[in-house]
Amino acid sequence: PPETLLVAPVEALTSLPGTGLPEGVVLRPVTDAAGAELMALAHERAFGTDAGRLRHQVLTRLERAPDDFVALVAMAGGEPVSSARMELYPGTAFAGLWGGGTVAEWRGRGLYRALVAHRAAVAAERGYRYLQVDATDMSAPILTRLGFTALGTTTPYVYRPAG
């Protein structure tokens, strides 16, 4: 399905009110295979889909370009309840937010907002001026309330060669 292309200045997102983590939740940076596994589990629980491709993408990015990639998993009671990643595009003013998702029973508690704010702070520290998101219908309203502006739409696809 089409997604909304949204952009916001990093500066406007680093001091948003209400972006703290709920009590008992900690953010864990994903830096290895164990972290990628937790991130994939959070993704599977949030979206009800297999995260094999995500797991592979995260491990590949950590191996090939760890300085241009940030991945996080929110943990509650030892369980992954939310995750998100950010792609940094060197030589540009943009960083991209990807894959933010929260397990259904944890939605509405500010985890998604906290993950956006945390990634914005990292982008600011690294000198990026804007965040870009291809947002689903579930995420777009939240991001708009946070100050993102819709620029257009995108239609994602996965190319599978014949044969």
What pLDDT was estimated at residue 147?
Answer: 94
The arithmetic mean of pLDDT across residues 57-85, rounded, is 96
Binning pLDDT at 50, 70 and 90, where does residue 139 land?
A: very high
Phi, psi of 131 (to 5 degrees): -110, 140
From the number of C-beta atoms within 10 Å of its C-beta (0-12, 13-18, 19+), residue 39 rates as buried
25 within domain boundaries: yes
The answer to whether 106 and 81 have CB atoms below 8 angstroms apart is yes
Is 163 part of a structural domain of the chain?
Answer: no
Establish if 13 belongs to a structural domain: yes
* pLDDT for 16: 77
- Average pLDDT (99-126) is 94
Residue identified by tokens 């996965």 is 158
pLDDT value of residue 146: 93
Give the domain range for residue 56. 3-154
**How much is the average pLDDT of 112-126?**
95
Mean pLDDT of 55-81: 96
What is the chain's mean pLDDT, rounded? 94
Q: Is residue 162 part of a domain?
A: no
11, 114 contact by CB (below 8 A): no
Residue 160 lies in a domain: no
| CATH assignment at residue 95 | 3.40.630.30
161 within a domain of the structure (yes/no): no
Query: How many structural domains compose the chain?
Result: 1
Strands (DSSP E) contained in the chain are 3-9, 25-29, 69-76, 79-88, 94-102, 130-135, 149-154
pTM of the model: 0.92
Write the burial class of residue 77 (CB in 10 Å: 0-12 exposed, 13-18 middle, 19+ buried). Answer: exposed
Q: At 147, phi and psi to the nearest 5?
A: 115, 5
Read off the pLDDT of residues 14-59 as tens digits, 9 standing for 90 and up.
877 777 899 999 999 999 999 999 999 999 999 999 999 999 999 9
